[in-house]
Amino acid sequence: MTTSTATDRLLSAVSAGVETVELGHPYFTGMPCSPNHPGFRMTLIRRHGDMVRPDGGSAANEIIVTGGHVGTHVDALSHVSDCGMLNGGVDAYEAQAGGKFKDKGAEQIPFMMTRGLLLDVAKLHGVDTLDAGYAITADDLRGAADAAGVTPRKGDVVLVRSGWARNFGDQSVYLGQTDGVPGPNVEAAEWLAEFGIVATGSDTTAYEHIPAGSGHSVLPVHRVLLVQNGIHIIEHLNMEDASERGLTEFTFVMAPLRIVGGTGSPVRPVAVVTA
């Protein structure tokens, strides 16, 4: 197939009714952020009229300050270590020398255009939002997959919906420092890892079961996924629109920023579906 023929077929598919469904949140100053990370700030550093060119033109621009794990983002394999080791037996202390990771950095996170699955655990339980501190188990994921008529397979991206994105506007509830946050437990993470998926994501600030009163003190699911299995984690997703549409299987597209030596990247993930 020639390049022009392939391009024509792609454009034909798009014109025939392919559309995208947003799976993340927009970025704004003051949005909820894990207490373990610096927050997002954006302000105009030049405004229209600050400098007007001879032809009457003027430009505005901004300055952005953010951590790599703020808003909808993906974790690099350098993000978490276990007993001083990163995924693949890489020495974390040696790899981070010099202020950036020489291995497992964010620039190594792959561009993802692959099969995506939405496992809607909230819908499985007949609720809009799972209870604070609810532990999503392997049985929950298995049940959500059965209800959707799908089975994870190698190379997939599996998204787990708790409905918690509905609380994104209320930081105290969303972060769950007191009452906890619903999320997959270690058993659920191990179940997903068996399929050889490339990434998994959730609609909470941490892809973890956070019990009441525990805060973000320990993150065992991160170790199972990132360190032990090399599976990237996507957090702060918003799957409400996708859930309302009844999406279960779709083409998942996400392009991380190639931040050399970083531990994560802001992303704008989408589900590509037929109209």
pLDDT of residue 2: 62
Asked if residue 99 is part of any domain, the answer here is yes
The pLDDT assigned to 180 comes to 93
Residue 39 lies in a domain: no
Domains of the chain: total: 1
Q: What pLDDT score was predicted for residue 177?
A: 85
How confident is the model at residue 8, as a pLDDT?
75
Provide the domain limits for residue 157: 17-25+68-274
Strands 85-86 and 135-136: unpaired
Residue 8 lies in a domain: no
Looking at residue 100, its pLDDT comes to 97
Work out the angle at residue 262's Cα, subtended by the Cα atoms of residues 73 and 230, and round it to the nearest 5 degrees: 70
Q: Is residue 51 part of a domain?
A: no
| pLDDT, tens digit only, all 275 positions of the chain | 566 677 777 667 666 788 999 999 999 999 999 888 999 999 999 999 999 999 999 999 999 999 999 999 999 999 999 999 999 999 999 999 999 999 999 999 999 999 999 999 999 999 999 999 999 999 999 999 999 999 999 999 999 999 999 999 998 899 988 899 999 999 999 999 999 999 999 999 999 999 998 777 789 999 999 999 999 999 999 999 999 999 999 999 999 999 999 999 999 999 999 87
- Residue carrying the six token digits 């105290």: 172
Confirm whether 53 is domain-assigned.
Answer: no
**With helix as H, strand as E and coil as C, how does the chain read?**
CCHHHHHHHHHHHHHCCEEEEECECCCCCCCCCCCCCCCCEEEEEECCCCCECCCCCECCEEEEECCCCCCCEEECCCCCCECCEEHHHEEHHHHCCCCCCCCCCHHHCCCEEEEEEEEEHHHHCCCCCCCCCCEECHHHHHHHHHHHCCCCCCCCEEEEECCHHHHCCCHHHHHCCCCCECEECHHHHHHHHCCCCCEEEECCCCCCCECCCCCCCCCHHHHHHHHHHCCEEEECECCHHHHHCCCCEEEEEECCCCCCCCCEEECCCEEEEEC
Give me the pLDDT at residue 15, please: 67
145 located within any domain: yes
Per the domain annotation, does 246 fall within a domain?
Answer: yes
Supply the CATH number for residue 257's domain.
3.50.30.50
- Spell out the residues 6+ positions from residue 202 whose beta carbon is closer than 8 angstroms to its own: 159, 160, 161, 162, 164, 183, 184, 234, 235, 237
Question: Does residue 33 lie in a domain region?
Answer: no
Q: What angle do CA 69, 228, 102 make, to 5 degrees?
A: 60
What pLDDT is attached to residue 3?
63
Phi, psi (5° rounding) for residue 184?
A: -65, 140
